[in-house]
């Protein structure tokens, strides 16, 4: 019993009580309503500017809006010329494309070349097959008349044309003009194909059904600029093979 009131024990107890009370005053007590610490949640105020942290309001600095506007405009990409990637600046081709776009802002040289590639293959294939119906909406009256005459002559002679594309290697514009709202674009096609003309018995009378040959065609397409009819028609052909 006397050991419980030993002066040393009382001194240790008093020190422990003092330490406990000081820790309690510094750390406080848990009430059960404390927010759990989440390492993936940013600390309060993180990511905010000094302006936003001031009473929860945004305080614009003088000239800040102008600086931000100038920076945004500086980051905007500049519009490339309509002839970019197709013609050289200052050339007749570049000038012609600019003139066409001035009258028809929906005209895109890049999309035109994609369409010209498709039209080229369709027209050559339809001519070989003698398909006048497919050719008519793609050709001007004069060109259609020439194609029609060649098809009729071939049919009357009992001949057939065997044409197969291997590849279309190059499709490039060589000229573009706008005269009295009539847009005209000339395209050079370089392709590899197999072509041969056969008689009634299927004998080869021209070309070679087994040999690939390079063919170069220069075609000119026309369309009324701004017309509701989106179709370009072939108005002239030139074979340089």
175 and 93 Cβ atoms separated by less than 8 Å: yes
Tokens 């519009």: give the residue.
79
How many angstroms separate the CA atoms of 18 and 235, rounded? 105
pTM of the model: 0.67
Query: What is the SS3 assignment for 162?
Result: strand
92-239 to CATH, choices 3.10.450.240, 3.30.450.20, 3.40.140.80, 3.40.50.300: 3.10.450.240
The sign of the torsion formed by the CA atoms of 150, 152, 158, 160 equals positive
Vertex 89 angle, CA 88 and 91, to 5°: 75
Both structure tokens of 200: 């009634």
How many angstroms separate the CA atoms of 232 and 183, rounded? 9
Which are the contacts of 139, defined by CB distance < 8 A and separation ≥ 6?
123, 147, 233, 234
Give the bridge partners for 221, in sequence order.
Answer: 185, 234
192 and 214 Cβ atoms separated by less than 8 Å: yes
Both structure tokens of 183: 């847009």
Q: Report pLDDT for 207.
A: 93
The DSSP-derived string for 14-66 is HHHHHHHHHHHHHH----S-PPPP-TTSPPTTTT--TTTTSTT---PPTTHHH
Nearest partner of 116 among 176, 172, 182, 174, judged by Cα: 172
- Start-to-end CA span in the chain (Å): 125
The Cα-based distances of 26 to 13, 20, 21, 22, 62 in angstroms read 20, 10, 9, 6, 44
What is the chain's pLDDT, residue by residue, as a tens digit (241 residues)?
A: 455 555 555 556 655 656 555 555 544 455 555 444 444 344 455 555 544 444 554 444 444 444 445 555 555 556 788 888 899 999 999 999 999 999 998 899 999 999 999 999 999 999 999 999 999 999 999 999 999 999 999 999 999 999 999 999 999 999 999 999 999 999 999 999 999 999 999 999 999 999 999 999 999 999 999 888 888 999 999 877 5
Both structure tokens of 166: 């291997």
How many angstroms separate the CA atoms of 153 and 163, rounded? 17
């Amino acid at each position: 019993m006397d050991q419980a009131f030993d002066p040393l024990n009382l001194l240790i107890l008093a020190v422990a009580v003092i330490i406990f009370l000081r820790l309690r005053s510094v750390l406080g007590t848990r009430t059960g309503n404390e927010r759990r610490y989440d390492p993936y949640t940013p600390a309060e105020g993180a990511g905010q500017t000094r302006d936003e942290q001031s009473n929860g309001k945004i305080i614009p600095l003088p000239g800040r809006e102008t600086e931000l506007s100038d920076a945004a405009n500086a980051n905007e990409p500049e519009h490339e010329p309509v002839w970019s990637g197709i013609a050289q600046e200052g050339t007749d081709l570049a000038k012609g494309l600019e003139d066409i776009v001035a009258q028809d802002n929906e005209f895109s040289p890049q999309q035109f070349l994609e369409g010209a590639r498709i039209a080229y293959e369709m027209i050559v294939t339809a001519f070989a097959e003698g398909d006048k119906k497919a050719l008519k909406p793609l050709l001007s009256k004069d060109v259609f008349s020439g194609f029609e005459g060649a098809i009729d002559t071939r049919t009357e002679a009992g001949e057939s044309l065997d044409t197969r594309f291997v590849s279309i290697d190059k499709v490039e514009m060589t000229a573009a003009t706008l005269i009295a709202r009539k847009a005209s674009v000339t395209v050079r096609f370089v392709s590899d194909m197999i072509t041969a003309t056969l008689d009634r018995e299927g004998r080869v009378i021209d070309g070679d059904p087994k040999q690939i040959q390079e063919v170069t065609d220069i075609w000119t397409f026309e369309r009324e600029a701004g017309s509701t009819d989106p179709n370009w028609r072939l108005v002239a052909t030139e074979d340089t093979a």
